[in-house]
Amino acid sequence: MEENNKDINKEINLLQLLILLCGWIIKGLKNIVVFFGNLVQLSYKYKIVTIIVIILSLSTGLYLSRPSVRVYKADAMAMLYGSDAQTVKEICKQLENSISTNNLYSLASKLSIPDSVAKNIVGFQSFYVIDYLKDGVADKVDFDNNHSLTDTLNIKMKDRLYFRVFSTKISQIPKVQAAILAYFNNNSVMKAQFENKRNELLQNVKICNSESLLIDSLAKVSYFKSNHEQMQFDNNKLLVGEQRKQLFYGELLDLQNIKSKSETKIVDFKQPVDLPSGFVLNPVPVNGHTKYGVVSLLIGYILAVVISVLIDNFKKVVKFLEKNNN
């Protein structure tokens, strides 16, 4: 009997909780409906103020998204040869922190381009690339620049960065791309690291070639040399009779593997920074009519509501201010 009573009490408690939860949800929905209903009433009460503020806000949004000031972004994956990503990221700060009002620190002087081209460049950004599986394949671009330094699973790739250029003139993107490549490829630090790494790869190939000839000669001598030893110890084992000839094929394969990897890298080592696909333009402007139109409508309505609330409670606000002053 006692167990049955406990089960009944548990069912009643659960039912009460469900009823309370449903009551809270219904009450919350009613409050939301009442809140938006009050906003609609307030907007209708001061409809002239609401219409004027929304029109002004929409006009501002359309003005900021007019064709002559539309901003387009172009992205490119930059492959680095010789220098690591951190070094190139530090060099990128010269472009990212450029000041158009200062001739010494402007993009025109940094990239050695005419002012007519530089004035159309709104900004330049660089981002690290994240490799999740440590397989040398780019998995994500860290657009927020907030990758954890303690994360040892998802590492920043050292051989590439992601570049982004903002420009108001699409036709000048190729000129900007050429100027950016020249800026990095003529950097003294990056040129020195590029030459050093390329010479290292060339030396690897040279050593592999000489060692291959040496091992090949040793293999021929060992193969044609008659084996007179009929009994010997090898790894604590007594071997009797003629043994197999040592052909050194394992060593030759290892050298060929090292040589092949080095030659593959040398093919890519044409300049310190390369853009395989170039800057790819996004045809949708950053400040397009649709985006700025919707945002300006929302901002305009919010401002209209705030102004309407202040007008509706003007006397209370005045009394509050006078009370504080006294």
pLDDT tens track for 151-172:
667 788 899 999 999 999 888 9
Distance between CA 190 and CA 184 in Å, rounded? Answer: 7
Read off the pLDDT of residues 66-93 as tens digits, 9 standing for 90 and up: 888 899 999 999 999 989 999 999 999 9
Tokens of residue 120, six digits: 């159309």
Contact 79, 270 (CB under 8 A): no
User: 273 has which bridge partners?
Assistant: 80
Rg (CA), the chain: 36
Give the per-residue pLDDT at 46.
86
Q: For residue 84, with 0-12 CB atoms within 10 Å meaning exposed, 13-18 middle and 19 or more buried, which class applies?
A: middle
Closest to 185 in 3D by CA, of 74, 78, 76: 78
Instruction: Find out whether 153 and 125 touch, Cβ atoms under 8 Å.
Output: no
Checking if the pLDDT of 103 tops 60, the result is: yes
**DSSP-assigned states of every residue in 269-281:** TTSSEE-SS-PEE
The distance between the two most distant Cα atoms of the chain, rounded to a whole number of Å, is 118
Cα–Cα dist 163/76, whole Å: 5
Measured from the Cβ of residue 106, the count of other Cβ atoms closer than 10 Å reads 18
Alpha-carbon gap, residue 130 to 140, rounded angstroms:
5
Confidence (pLDDT) at 222: 57
